[in-house]
Structure 1
Amino acid sequence: MKLSRWGAAVVALLLSVSLAACGGGAGRPDDVAVAASMLPMPAIDDTDGLVIHGEKVADAELLAAARAGSLNWYTASGAESAGLTAARFQAETGVKVDMTRLPSGKLNERVLSEHGAGRLSAGVVTITDPILAEGFTAAGVFAPYRTPTYDTLDKMKSVVWNDGRYYTAYYSAYAFAYNDLAVEPDEAPGSWEDLLDSKWKGKVGVVNAGAGGTVQGLADFQERVLDKDYWDGLSAQKPRIFDTTSVQLEALARGEIEVATTGFNSTYGAEKAGAPIELVVPKKGISGTFNMQGLTENGAKNPAARLFMNWTMSRSGQEFAAAQGFVSSRTDIDQVPTGQYQLPKADDTGFVVYTPEDAKARGEDIVARWNRKFAF
């Protein structure tokens, strides 16, 4: 049940984000319980290796070696989701995770700097920009690795990259949400077109298209899939423009804005933390962007890092990502619900992925034109 007062909801939201962003360990002490509330723990058998959901994740030798060590994970995923993922992995495998979370640009600089100096300690790196993942491959950061599910994954579109040097761990999804204390149920927006209704003028929040790949992909989706004039209608709403999703969500939780185009995962996390926010999965579809993950040269020697890669691409790891509000990269399994919400599968027509090729061909132009249109 959601909190009945905006102030209490905002406190809960800010507390969850600040604790998760501290870095180190597997996140907050209650992350295992929060993760279990999102998705019940699966059936686990470790009598002869590690079998989760009937799928072999590690043989006995790898499991024993992994449990005797630990994993250093660098990630650009949201702080809260990264903490939950680390805690869930540790709960399912018994392997400790030390997590370092940075935005993609800063993470890219740190990884390349440490790799160049020969002191990259991360065994696994997760990056939300596929072009930066390509750069890691070119620089020799990522080592080729075949998970136990490699042959299955390799048959799927855009999951295995550069012969296993990195994988699409899952996709971020972008839709919209509203403050359900400020907006009456019969007034709530249900479609992308509803956001253009004049009643929302001055009450809409958006993150600028140059802030990252997810919002760049959303801008592309709005123009190419919804309507070539969609930006005209949205800019006419005089939206409040934010530089980051976290600040946008704080404003939405406080009621400073009433509706917002938002990343599904981070917004669902805020809702779970008690913010008075309701998400919408529009019938016309949602936009998606890549989250790439690879094993480093150091990780190739680390059993815990190899197990983390195996788990991420296993059914269990994929289902937990979906339960948090990501879209699973595996299309051979069902997309489990995110609480009360049902996101599409990666190969559904309603899920439109912004590809590296799209970013290279149109990215700079999209951002430049969006800035002009929204006078940003």
Structure 2
Amino acid sequence: MFKPFIRCSIALLFAAASLSSHAADPKPPMPVQEITTYQGADREERLLEGAKKEGEVTVYHAYPQLSNVTAAFTKKYGIKVKNWRSGSEAILQRVVSEARGKKFDVDIIHNNAPESEALHREGLIQPVKSPHLKDIMPAAIPAHGDWVGIAMDVYSAAYNTNSVKKEDLPKSYKDLLDPKWKGKLAVEAEDQGWFNTLVGLMGEQQGLKLFSDIVATNGISMRKGHSLLAQLVASGEVPLALSAYSWTPDLMKEKGAPIQGFLIDPVVAQFSSISMAKRAPHPYAAALFYDFMLTEGEKILADLKFVPTSKVVPSPIPAGTNIKYVDPVQALDNNEKWIKTFQNTMKSGK
């Protein structure tokens, strides 16, 4: 007569044990789309919990200095970062090639905005709805949201302080027509984005004529690599460079090099960006790194003289500077034309 009672008691005990067991279980894994869009107050906690299970995150990046950010990320969270650093074009080619070969190793991709835009068109990256996007300047966030600008590569002139007097510096590009600059000018060899944006701001025909006249009068050499260009300025081989990255002269100057950067209007910049791979093998760690990049990562880059896109991190660029941006869509669509225009103009005096 006690069997129904016993059966009921046993059922209740199993139910209670099951509830107790589930209550002690960690939160179940979220689908990837939910990971990238989750906005709960416990976002960092949940991402970290998942990231610790994944154990690592793989980052492909173009900035050598981004390793400072990845090291800080590992120090804070204990998540290993596998870095691979190369040039912008090599990174783009590797991501596309690996995807076509069904090899999905990368989680986070850092690259120039046009290359990130190319990955968007290939369908290889995805939006991350980080709550920290609210602190990023709107111009750094494309409408599709597949990538976000984390810094501005501001194109700056730079001069050797032993070879050029401050009072002799050009105040405009027209000043470069002065014969005193003959044989002293250089640009980076692949800065077609800077050049075509610049002449567009001047009025394309007027801008092209001005630079053609400068080349015909004084010549402009082309040097491959922004780091090399800055080093040549510091050595005195190139007294005045026209398209250095603003942060490079500042870092070299701190180490005692005779180099100084300055801006010539109109000032042009290109966004440097990050994105999360659509097939990221470590989505929790990737989303956690994305958030870290938009917060503490911005501060780390600013301390290294980079120009942050964060509205809450001080910029090394003087307040009130009117910066115009290279349009990544135009840069991608007009790449061959822009390269040809740039190279032909720089060689027009030969």
Q: Is the CA contact 1:222–1:231 (under 8 Å) kept in the aligned structure 2?
A: no
Residues 359 and 188 of structure 1: CA distance in aligned 2, closer, same or farther (over 3 Å): same
CA distance in 2, matches of 1:362, 1:73: 29
Asked if residue 276 in structure 1 is aligned to residue 261 in structure 2, the reply is: no
CA distance in 2, matches of 1:192, 1:86: 39
Residue among 102, 124, 146 paired with 2:129: 146
Q: Is the CA contact 1:57–1:310 (under 8 Å) kept in the aligned structure 2?
A: no
Residue 12 of structure 1: aligned partner: none
The more displaced of 256-265 and 242-251 is: 242-251
Q: Is the CA contact 2:159–2:241 (under 8 Å) kept in the aligned structure 1?
A: yes
Residues 298 and 242 of structure 1: CA distance in aligned 2, closer, same or farther (over 3 Å): same
Deviation at 1:258, TM superposition (A): 0.7
Q: Please, what TM-score do these two structures have when normalized by structure 1?
A: 0.70
Residue 100 of structure 2: aligned partner: 116
Deviation at 1:191, TM superposition (A): 4.5
Asked if residue 63 in structure 1 is aligned to residue 48 in structure 2, the reply is: yes
Deviation at 1:137, TM superposition (A): 2.9
Q: Is the CA contact 1:271–1:278 (under 8 Å) kept in the aligned structure 2?
A: yes
Deviation at 1:177, TM superposition (A): 0.4
Asked if residue 297 in structure 1 is aligned to residue 282 in structure 2, the reply is: no
CA distance in 1, matches of 2:166, 2:74: 40
Q: For each residue in 1:137-193, what CA deviation from the matched residue of structure 2 results, as whole angstroms up to 9, or x when unmatched?
A: 34342133211224x26992351442x432222221101001112223433445444
CA distance in 2, matches of 1:154, 1:82: 18
Deviation at 1:242, TM superposition (A): 1.3
Q: Is the CA contact 1:127–1:293 (under 8 Å) kept in the aligned structure 2?
A: yes
Q: For each residue in 1:68-117, what CA deviation from the matched residue of structure 2 results, as whole angstroms up to 9, or x when unmatched?
A: 6222100123x2x2233333444555543221111121111111121222
Asked if residue 206 in structure 1 is aligned to residue 182 in structure 2, the reply is: no
Asked if residue 336 in structure 1 is aligned to residue 315 in structure 2, the reply is: yes
Q: For each residue in 1:22-73, what CA deviation from the matched residue of structure 2 results, as whole angstroms up to 9, or x when unmatched?
A: xxxxxxxxxxxxxxxxxxxxxxxxxxxxxxxxxx895223235445622210
Q: Is the CA contact 1:287–1:353 (under 8 Å) kept in the aligned structure 2?
A: yes
**3-state SS, counterpart of residue 174 of structure 1:** strand
Deviation at 1:279, TM superposition (A): 0.7
Q: For each residue in 1:281-319, what CA deviation from the matched residue of structure 2 results, as whole angstroms up to 9, or x when unmatched?
A: 33x2411112232111343743322111012223x3333
Instruction: Name the aligned partner's letter for residue 114 of structure 1.
Output: E
Residue 91 of structure 2: aligned partner: 107
1:322-361 paired onto structure 2 within 5 Å? 322-330=302-310, 332-333=311-312, 335-337=314-316, 342-343=317-318, 350-360=322-332
Asked if residue 137 in structure 1 is aligned to residue 120 in structure 2, the reply is: yes
Residue among 337, 342, 349 paired with 1:370: 342
Q: Is the CA contact 2:186–2:240 (under 8 Å) kept in the aligned structure 1?
A: yes
CA distance in 2, matches of 1:370, 1:59: 46
Q: Is the CA contact 2:57–2:286 (under 8 Å) kept in the aligned structure 1?
A: yes
Percent identity over paired residues? 22
Q: Is the CA contact 2:187–2:229 (under 8 Å) kept in the aligned structure 1?
A: yes
CA distance in 2, matches of 1:300, 1:165: 17
Residue 196 of structure 2: aligned partner: 220
CA distance in 2, matches of 1:334, 1:192: 31
Q: Is the CA contact 1:281–1:343 (under 8 Å) kept in the aligned structure 2?
A: no
Q: Is the CA contact 1:74–1:125 (under 8 Å) kept in the aligned structure 2?
A: yes
Deviation at 1:126, TM superposition (A): 1.2
Unpaired stretches in structure 1, ≥5 consecutive residues: 1-55
Residue 230 of structure 2: aligned partner: 249
CA distance in 2, matches of 1:353, 1:193: 21
Asked if residue 84 in structure 1 is aligned to residue 45 in structure 2, the reply is: no
Instruction: Name the aligned partner's letter for residue 218 of structure 1.
Output: W
Of Structure 1 and Structure 2, which has the larger fraction of its residues in helix?
A: 2
CA distance in 1, matches of 2:333, 2:103: 35
CA distance in 1, matches of 2:197, 2:181: 21
Residues 186 and 67 of structure 1: CA distance in aligned 2, closer, same or farther (over 3 Å): farther
Residue 221 of structure 2: aligned partner: 240
Q: For each residue in 1:177-217, what CA deviation from the matched residue of structure 2 results, as whole angstroms up to 9, or x when unmatched?
A: 01112223433445444444321210112123xx2xxx223
* Matched positions, count: 301
